[in-house]
A and B are shown apart, each in its own frame.
Chain A
Amino acid sequence: DVQMTQSPSSLSASVGDRVTITCRASQSVAHYLNWYQQKLGKAPKLLIYAASNLQSGVPARFGGSGSGTDFTLTIASLQPEDFGTYYCQQSYRTPRTFGQGTTVEIK
Chain B
Amino acid sequence: QVQLQESGPGLVKPSETLSLTCTVSGVSIKSSYWSWIRQPPGKTLEWIGHIFHDGSTTYNPSLKSRVSMSVDTSKNQFSLKLTSLTAADTSVYYCVRRVVQGNNWFDPWGQGTLVTVSS
Interface set of A (CB-CB < 8 Å, partner B): 31-32, 34, 36, 42-46, 49-50, 55, 87, 89, 91, 94-101
Q: Which residue of A lies closest to B63 (CB)?
A: A95
From 92 to 110 in chain B, residues with beta carbon under 8 angstroms from any chain A beta carbon are 94, 99, 102-110
- What's the interface size class on B, roughly? 20 to 34
Q: Once the chains bind, are A32 and B104 in contact (CB under 8 Å)?
A: yes
- Specify which chain A residues have a CB less than 8 angstroms from the CB of B60 in the assembled complex: 94-95
Bound-state CA distance A50–B103 (Å) is 6
Q: A50-B103, A95-B60 are in contact. Are A45 and B109 (CB under 8 A)?
A: yes
A21 CB to closest chain B CB (Å) equals 14
Bound-state CA distance A97–B106 (Å) is 12
B42 CB to closest chain A CB (Å) equals 10
B106 in complex: contacting residue of A32, A46, A50, A95, CB < 8 Å: A46
Bound-state CA distance A42–B94 (Å) is 10
Bound-state CA distance A101–B33 (Å) is 25
B45 in complex: contacting residue of A32, A89, A91, CB < 8 Å: A89
Q: Once the chains bind, are B107 and A96 in contact (CB under 8 Å)?
A: no
- Specify which chain A residues have a CB less than 8 angstroms from the CB of B109 in the assembled complex: 43-45
- Specify which chain A residues have a CB less than 8 angstroms from the CB of B111 in the assembled complex: 42-43
Bound-state CA distance A80–B102 (Å) is 34
Q: Which residue of A lies closest to B49 (CB)?
A: A95
A100 in complex: contacting residue of B44, B62, B99, B112, CB < 8 Å: B44
In the A-B complex, the 3 residue pairs with the smallest Cβ-Cβ separation, listed nearest first, are A43-B109, A46-B107, A50-B103
